[in-house]
Amino acid sequence: MIQDLLHSSPGLSNFVIFFLLATVFLFVILGFVTYAILAERKVLGFMQGRYGPNQVGGRWGLLQTVADVLKLLLKEDLIPKAADRPLFILAPVVAFAPAFMVVAAIPFTDRLQFADIGVGLLYYIAVSGMTTVGILVGAWASNNKYSLLGGMRAAAQMISYEIPLVMSVLGIALLAGSINLNEIVEAQEKGWFILWQPIAFIVFFIAAVAELNRVPFDLAEAENELVAGFHTEYSGFRWAMFMLAEYVYMFAMCALITVLFLGGWLPLPFLGFIPGAVWFALKFSLVVFILIWFRATFPRIRADQLMEFAWKVLLPVALANIFLTALLKEFLNIF
Amino acid sequence: MELLNVYQNNYLIVFVFLCLGILLPVVALFAARLLRPPYKPIESKYTTYESGIEPFHDSRVQFNVRYYVFALMFVIFDVETVFLYPWAVAYEKLGIFALVEMLIFVVMLLIGLIYAWKKKVLKWI
């Protein structure tokens, strides 16, 4: 049915159908965010020998995040006098919209996906870069010293780590001969790219954690020096939009890592009878779990180490990996 | 024609996602305005947070030039990736000659990186 729809000429009716489907998908993502936050708190709790949320919604605290969201909806909405009002209101929207846009390009199974864009990978990287603008606008508009420091740090960090992120994926583009995400997954029939591209995987994973502003790279919102970083002045649901953007990015980035390195919906050998969607969900959950595990394990790294690590270690390694891959491909003819 | 339709439909989906991405914050903030109880905070709540002291002078001060230099470096290397992507995709057809060419191109940019390194631009203080 979707195939017929895709082949029909685009018009208003197509727009409406896509809009309804995307709305359903938006609620799926919101559900993921709700339970990702709960899972994060639970896992962190168990790793630190605590229980985590266990009051609201039964023994597992299943309604804790729902209650939190409702509470945030009822919070008072403060805009400081000194703030730049229009930009202050605009910033959460600018930060959130690209976070949701990037999810459009990700294939979940061979049939379940929204936009099959020829330059899917490039689209993801280009659109995700726009969030930096939202963060910087929010930091600037707050007219708060902590915010501005946090925003500048966030921008410097995100643009620095974007370089190794894009460079490491080039090895995959070389092997797959395409930057369409579907074709990249299909190219992994001969073995997942985590096996063929271990260096790229490590560089990409580190850069991805830094792009997500998560521990150990959460300098933009280092609580003990910057209060809350770029969203110090944000309260209520405006603040929630920034948090939402962060977790939707986590969803998108974990899905992208699954697609690029872990073979997307492809099954392990001899286990092909399990449907692709289950495989995707399993790999995806594993990546999310590793991100949460990172948060419980690593201390925050220092600002100077952070920047030097991106330019002096990750970038040369990623560049070397590109040419190593090209040479291997030329002489071994694996792909 | 068929292909053009598929192409346009795919970007229509991207546009739909853009609309939804803007609509969700708007709707959520509007719903929050309707739901929360009517309440006017006291005047001092509208001051900027500065660890409990009265905020002094504007916080938009001049910034370290270092941030600007990093932004410049970002532009240089991001443009480099723009050239690398088409090469990587078409590598199978281009072969070893293009590899050598690309190597020369990247080495020239690497010299720039090493120069910046030696000039202590990459050092974050």
Residues in chain A: 335
Asked if A81 is an interface residue toward chain B (Cβ–Cβ < 8 A), one would say yes
Quote the CA–CA distance of B80 and B109 in Å, as a whole number: 8
Q: Is the pLDDT of residue B1 over 80?
A: no
- Please tell me which residue, A228 or A175, carries the higher pLDDT value: A175
Q: How does pLDDT run across A37-75, given as a tens digit for each residue? A: 898 988 988 898 888 888 887 788 888 888 888 888 888
Which one of B5, B31, B89 has the shortest CB-CB distance to A9? B5
Q: Is A108 found in the same domain as A15?
A: no
Whether residue A78 contacts residue A110, with contact meaning beta carbons closer than 8 Å, is answered with: no
Give, in order, the Cα–Cα distances in Å from A160 to each of A8, A203, A222, B122.
42, 13, 18, 11
Residues of A in contact with B60 (CB under 8 A): 140, 143, 148
Token representation of residue A153: 């740090």
Tally of CB atoms within 10 A around A118 = 13
User: Model confidence over B72-104: pLDDT tens digits?
Assistant: 888 888 888 888 888 888 888 887 888 888 889
Distances (CA, A) of A77 to B21, B45, B55: 21, 11, 21
To probe the interface with A, which of B15, B30, B65, B89 has the most A CB atoms within 10 Å? B89
Residue A1, pLDDT above cutoff 70: no
Mean pLDDT across the stretch A145-162?
Answer: 86
Q: What is the pLDDT of residue B55?
A: 77
Name the amino acid, one letter, at A160: S
Residue A318 has pLDDT above 80, yes or no: yes
Rounded to the nearest integer, the mean pLDDT of chain A is 85
Query: Whole-number mean pLDDT of chain B?
Result: 83
Contacts of A163 in chain B (CB under 8 A): 74, 77-78, 81
Which residue intervals of chain B are DSSP H helices? 2-35, 65-89, 91-94, 96-118
The count of residues in chain B is 125
pLDDT at B125: 66
Q: In percent, how much of chain A has pLDDT > 90?
A: 7
Q: Is ipTM beyond 0.95?
A: no
Q: How would residue A237 be classed by pLDDT, with cut points 50, 70 and 90?
A: confident
Do the chains contact at B32 and A232, CB–CB below 8 Å?
no
The pLDDT score that the predictor gives to residue B123 is 77
- pLDDT at B119 (0 to 100): 85
* Residue A2 vs residue B32, higher pLDDT: B32
Encode pLDDT of A102-144 as tens digits: 988 888 887 778 878 888 888 888 888 888 888 889 888 888 8
Chain A residues inside the 8 Å CB shell of B74: 159-160, 162-163
Do A107 and A70 sit in the same domain of this protein?
Answer: no
CB-closest option in A26, A319, A327 to B20: A26
CB contact under 8 A, B99 and A311: no
Domain stop point among A74, A90, A105: A74
Residue A94 makes CB contacts below 8 A (sequence gap 6+) with A130, A131, A133, A134, A137
Reply yes or no on whether the pLDDT at A333 is more than 70: no
Total count of domains within chain A: 2
Please check whether residue A112 is in contact with residue A278, taking contact to mean a CB–CB distance below 8 angstroms: no
* Whether A151 and A266 share a structural domain: yes
Cα–Cα nearest to A154, from A78, A226, A84? A226
Cβ distance A74 to B37 less than 8 Å, yes or no, reads yes
User: Taking CB atoms and an 8 Å limit, are A237 and B28 in contact across chains?
Assistant: yes
CATH pick for B1-119 out of 1.20.58.1610, 3.40.718.10, 2.60.40.420, 3.40.50.2300: 1.20.58.1610
* Same domain for A315 and A285: yes
Rounded Cα–Cα distance for residues B55 and B46 (Å): 12
Q: Which of A166, A246, A325, A327 to mutate to test the interface with B (most CBs of B within 10 A)?
A: A166
Cβ within 8 Å of residue B122, ≥6 positions away: A307, A308, A311, A312, B116
Q: Show the domain range for A37.
A: 1-74
Residues A264, A208, B81, A118, Cα dihedral to 10°: 30
Do A302 and A220 share a domain, yes or no? Answer: yes
Residues of chain A numbered 23-52 and touching chain B (CB < 8 Å): 23, 26
Pairwise CB contact (< 8 Å): B20 & A163? no
B33 contacts in A (CB within 8 Å)?
A: 77
Distance from CA of A50 to the nearest CA of B (A): 31
Annotated domain spans of chain B:
1-119
* A122 touches B at CB < 8 Å: yes
DSSP A184-253: HHHGGGGS-HHHH-HHHHHHHHHHHHHHTT-TTS-GGG-HHHHTTGGGTT--HHHHHHHHHHHHHHHHHH
Rounded CA separation A51/A33 (Å):
20
| Domain stop point among A39, A59, A74 | A74
Average pLDDT value for residue range B20-25: 89
CA distance B17 to A124: 13
Asked if A115 and A191 sit in the same domain, the reply is yes
* Torsional sign, CA A99, A102, A108, A114: positive
Q: 3-state class of B47 per DSSP?
A: coil
Verify that A141 and A185 share a domain, yes or no: yes
Q: Which secondary structure element, helix H or strand E, spans residue B49, and what is its range?
A: none
**In a shared domain, residues A205 and A224:** yes
Compare all CA atoms of chain A with the CA of B46 and give the residue at the minimum distance: A80
Distance between CA A213 and CA A301 in Å, rounded? Answer: 12
Residues B51-72, mean pLDDT to the nearest whole number: 79
- Is the predicted pLDDT of residue A85 greater than 60, yes or no? yes
Q: Are residues A218 and A264 in the same domain?
A: yes
Q: Are residues A196 and A327 in the same domain?
A: yes
Same domain membership, residue A124 and residue A154:
yes
The answer to whether residue B2 scores a pLDDT higher than 60 is yes
Q: Which of A74, A106, A135 is the last residue of a domain?
A: A74
pLDDT of amino acid A334: 58
The answer to whether the Cβ–Cβ distance between B70 and A307 falls below 8 Å is yes
Identify which of B12, B24, B48 has the shortest CB distance to residue A80: B48
Residue A335 pLDDT greater than 60, yes or no:
no
* Contact predicate A135/A220, CB 8 Å: yes
Over range A236-257, report the average pLDDT. Answer: 89
